[in-house]
Each structure stands twice: as C-alpha cells, then as structure tokens.
Structure 1
Amino acid sequence: MQLHIQDLSKTYSNGVQALKGVNLTIPSGMFGLLGPNGAGKSSLMRTLATLQEADEGTVTLGEIDVLKDKEKVRQILGYLPQEFGVYPKVSSYTMLDHIASLKGISSKGERKDLVESLLTKTNLWHVRNKSLGTYSGGMKQRFGIAQALIGEPQLIIVDEPTAGLDPAERVRFHNLLSEIGENTIVILSTHIVEDISNLCNNMAIICLGEVVAKGNPAELTQAVKGRIWKKSVQKQELPSYQADLQVISTHLKAGKTVIHVLSDERPDATFEASVANLEDVYFAEITSRMETISA
C-alpha cells in the first residue's frame, strides 16, 4: 500500500498559506518529513489524519480517498500528535482497554491480549497499573504510540515525537518506530535532522508549505558531496562571509563561529573540506528557499 498526495493546498482564514501544491508518494516503511517550525509539517499531518479539510488536491491510501472517506481512513489510522493529553489519574492499562473498546474491539479477552501485547512492545508493562500523570515524557510518548497501534493501523503519523526526550528515551523511541515501520506506512514529522538520518529510507524537506527536496537521505546527501566547506571565524566577521558566500549554517564551537558554505569550489585557501551530511542538505535547501523568497 502507498499513500499518494497530489497538488495538496491549504490556506487558513487568517491568510496563511500552509500548504502549496504538495506532491508526495509515500511507500511502506519509515518516511521522514523534515522542516523548520512553521514549514507546514503539522498542517500536512492534520490533513492526512482527517482533522482538517484541504482546499485543493487529492490524497489516496491504496483505494481509499483520504479527503472524502474519512471514516475508512480513521479505521486504519494511528496518530500521535505533537501534543496530546492524558487522563492523569487513569492507568495505562485501563486507558488502552477503554480506547480499544471505542475502536470496536468488543471481546474482553481480545482486548486483554491486545493491551498486554502493546504494553510489552512499548516497554510499559512494569508500570501498567501506575497513573498516567506519573509518567515521564518518554513514557508518555511510548503510551501515545501504544494507543496509536490499536486496531493494527496501516498508516501511522507521528508529529515531533522525540522533542523534549532525553538521549536514552530517544534511542528507545527510535527502536520502537523502526520495528513498527517494517510493515506499515509510518510518517515521522520532525525538525530534528538526526532522527530522519537514523530512521528513514525515504524523506522530504518542506519549507513554507512547499516540498523543496525528496528522496533517499543518502542520495540527497550525495548531491552535495564535495561542495561543503567549513571555516572558523570571529562572530563579527560573519556578516561579510554571508554577503559574499552561500553560508548555509553556523555553529558555535570553542568560542568561535564555524561556518558551513555551499560552493562548487573551495572559496579560498583558508577553508577546509567538510564531509557532507543530511544536516548540510537540509540547511542548503532551507536557506536557498528563504533567499528566493526574500529576493
């Protein structure tokens, strides 16, 4: 099964055009949607999750018209939004059992088997009887995935799932997402480049509501190989470099500013070659798009 998005557009009542003719084909497996805050990622996710209407375009999931057959989509959808509430005094076991009942699993024995399986898979079995209000951020995120998996969804959407997690929780969450993505379409929306690089075989970069790049992360990185140069500069020197060169990113290191420049040739002898990575691709696409808008 594949998810096909064609010419999808959305403008809000305040005039903000959140999506501008988005075209994507998303196969089974982990698909990364990368972009800065305000790029349109959440708008796209909410539209795919049937939580808001699109103005134009089509979306199909296999034979299902996502924009018209919302009930069919919801039957096979798992959704973990960026922020979601929990009933703080209810245990994860009780809450998952309740959600399973709402999703039409009427057999008590079937619900029991399902809930126990999900709690084990998400490493929450040992805290199954504790109230959700006592859970850490990472535990709440794993609970969110558990509830999203009820009903064996064919499409799972997770929006900024690792924001605020400590390194150990991020690793656990990555492993869980990778396991889920083996046989399901999983869309991971984030602004964390490393998450996409570690997890996804396919991805897209979105900026100001438009898809500015898409493909395999390794192939996208290959496109800028040999074109990334770096140099440590004083902070006050930065504006002059930005005026003369395509500075795609800056990093503060040991009190100095390290700039990354995109150029087919070494800008001058003071620059050294830098091994290109997905972060360079991301910043190159975003800065190029922003410069086009401001020109």
Structure 2
Amino acid sequence: MELIIDNLSKTYSNGIKALQNISLNIPKGMFGLLGPNGAGKSTLMRTIAALQEADTGTITLGDIDVLKQKNELRQVLGYLPQQFGLYPKISAEVLLNHFAVLKGITNKSERNELVKALLYKTNLYDVRKQNLKGYSGGMKQRFGIAQALLNNPKLLIVDEPTAGLDPLERNRFYNVLSELGEHTVVILSTHIVDDVKELCTNMAIINQGKVCLKGQPLEILESLKDKVYKKTIEKEELKIYKENYKVISEKLFLGKPTIHILSDKNPGGGFSLTNAELEDVYFSKIFSNTNSNSN
C-alpha cells in the first residue's frame, strides 16, 4: 500500500500559503518529513488525517480517496498529533481499554489481549496500573503510540513525537517506530534531523509550504559529496564569514564556532573538506529556499 499526495495546496483565510502544490509518493516503511517550525508540516499531517480540508489536490491511500472517504480512512488510520491530552487520574491500562471500546472492539477477551500486547510493545506493561499523571514525557508519547495502534492501522502519522524527550526516551521511541515501519506506512513529521537519520529510508524536506527535496537519505547525501567544508573561527568573525560564504551550519567547539559552508570548489583560507551530514543537506535546502523567497 502506498500513500500518494498530488498537487495539494492550502491557503488560510489570513493569506498564508501553508501548502503549495505538494506532491509525494510515500511507500510502506518509515518516511521522514523534515522542516522548520511553521514550514507546513502540521497542516499537511492534519490534511492527510482528514482533520481539515485542502483547497486543491488529491490524496489516496491504496483505493481510499482520503479527502472524500474520511470514514474509510479513519478505520485504517493511526494518528499521534503534536499535542494531545490524557486523563491524568486514570491508569494507562484502563484508558487504553476505554479507547479500544470507542474504536469498536467490544469483545472483552479480545480487547484485553490487544491492550496487553500494545502495552508490551510500547514498554509500558510494568507501569500499566500507574496513573498517567505520573508518566514522563516519553512514557506519554509511547502511550500515544499505543492508542494509535488499536485499530492495526495501515497508515500511522506521528507529528513531532520526540521534541522534549531525553536521549534514553528518544531511543525507546525510535525502537517502537522502527518496528512499526516494517509493516505500515509511517510518516514521521519533525524538525529534528537525527530522528530522520536514525529511522527513515525515505524522506522529504518541506519549507514555506513547498517540497524542497525528496528521496532516500543516503542518495541525498551523495548530492553534497565534496561540497561541504568546515573551519573553526572566532566568534567576532562569524558575521563576516556569513557575508562571504554560504554558511549552512554552525556549532560551538571548545567555545569557538565551527562553521560548515557549501562550495563547489575548495575555498582555501584554512577550510578543510568534511563529510556531508544529513543536517548539512537540511540546512542547505532551508537556506536556499528561504533566500529564494526573500529575493
């Protein structure tokens, strides 16, 4: 099964063009949607999840017309939005059981087995009796995934799922998503480059409502081979370098900025060639797209 998005556009009443002719083919597996805050990622996710209308374009999931057959979509959709509420004084086991009833799983023994299996899958079984108010951020996110999987979805959407999680919780979440991607179309919408680097076999970068780049991460990295140079500079020099070079990233190393620039040839001046990282691809595309729209 494949999710096909064709020429999707959405303009809000205030004139903001949230989506501009978005076209993507998303196969089974983990698909990373990268972009800065405000890029249009959440608008796209909500539209795919049939939570808001598009102005133009089509979305199909197998033989389902997503924009017209919303009830059919919801039967095969799992969705974990960026913000979601939980009942703090109810245990994970009780609330997950309640959600299962709402999704039409009325056979008690079948429902209990499903809830048990999902709590194990998301590593929450040992704390199933604990009220949700005592859960960490990562535990709440894993509970969100558990409820999204109750209907064995063919399409799973997760919007900014690891923001604010510590490294241990993020790794646990990675493991859950990675396993799901073996059998399901999973869209991971995020501004965190490491999420896509760790998990996804296909990806797209979106900025200002447009797709800047799409493909497989390893192939995309090849596009910057022998084009990324680095140099450690003084803080007061940063402005000058930004004026004279295409600086695509900067990080502090021992208190000094280390910059990465994009150049088709060796710029000299103490720069050294470095291996391109997915973060370099991301910032080079965001930089290029932002500049082209400001000119």
User: Which TM-score band applies after superposition, normalised by the shorter structure?
Assistant: over 0.9
| Partner of residue 32, structure 1 | 32
| Partner of residue 230, structure 1 | 230
| Partner of residue 96, structure 1 | 96
CA deviations on 1:15-45 (whole Å, 9 max, x unpaired) are 1111000000000000000000100000100
Shift of 1:95: 0.8
| Partner of residue 185, structure 2 | 185
Once the two structures are superposed, the pairs formed by residues 71-82 of structure 1 within 5 Å of their partners are: 71-82=71-82
Matched, 1:279 2:288: no
| Partner of residue 142, structure 2 | 142
Distance in 1 (CA, whole Å) between partners of 2:276 and 2:111 is 48
| Partner of residue 56, structure 1 | 56
- AA partner of residue 256 (structure 2): K
| Partner of residue 205, structure 1 | 205
3-state DSSP class of the match of 2:282? helix
- AA partner of residue 44 (structure 1): L
3-state DSSP class of the match of 2:153? coil
Once the two structures are superposed, the pairs formed by residues 150-169 of structure 1 within 5 Å of their partners are: 150-169=150-169
Task: Give the 4+ runs in structure 1 shifted more than 2 A.
Answer: none
Distance in 1 (CA, whole Å) between partners of 2:152 and 2:43 is 25
Shift of 1:235: 2.1
3-state DSSP class of the match of 1:144? helix
Shift of 1:236: 2.1
Distance in 2 (CA, whole Å) between partners of 1:47 and 1:99 is 23
Distance in 2 (CA, whole Å) between partners of 1:235 and 1:207 is 29
Distance in 1 (CA, whole Å) between partners of 2:197 and 2:47 is 25
| Partner of residue 130, structure 1 | 130
- AA partner of residue 226 (structure 2): G
| Partner of residue 10, structure 1 | 10
| Partner of residue 43, structure 2 | 43
CA deviations on 1:148-188 (whole Å, 9 max, x unpaired) are 00011000000011111111111110001000110000000
Shift of 1:247: 1.0
Shift of 1:269: 3.8
Percent of aligned pairs sharing the same letter: 60
The two structures, once aligned, show a CA RMSD in angstroms of 0.8
| Partner of residue 263, structure 2 | 263
3-state DSSP class of the match of 1:221? helix
Distance in 2 (CA, whole Å) between partners of 1:211 and 1:221 is 17
User: Runs of 5+ in structure 1 lacking a partner?
Assistant: none
3-state DSSP class of the match of 1:13? coil
| Partner of residue 118, structure 2 | 118
Q: TM-score, normalised by structure 2?
A: 0.99
- AA partner of residue 182 (structure 2): E
Q: TM-score, normalised by structure 1?
A: 0.99
How many residue pairs align between the two structures? 295
Distance in 1 (CA, whole Å) between partners of 2:109 and 2:93 is 14
Shift of 1:211: 0.3
Shift of 1:259: 1.1
Distance in 2 (CA, whole Å) between partners of 1:133 and 1:25 is 39
3-state DSSP class of the match of 2:67? coil
Shift of 1:274: 1.1
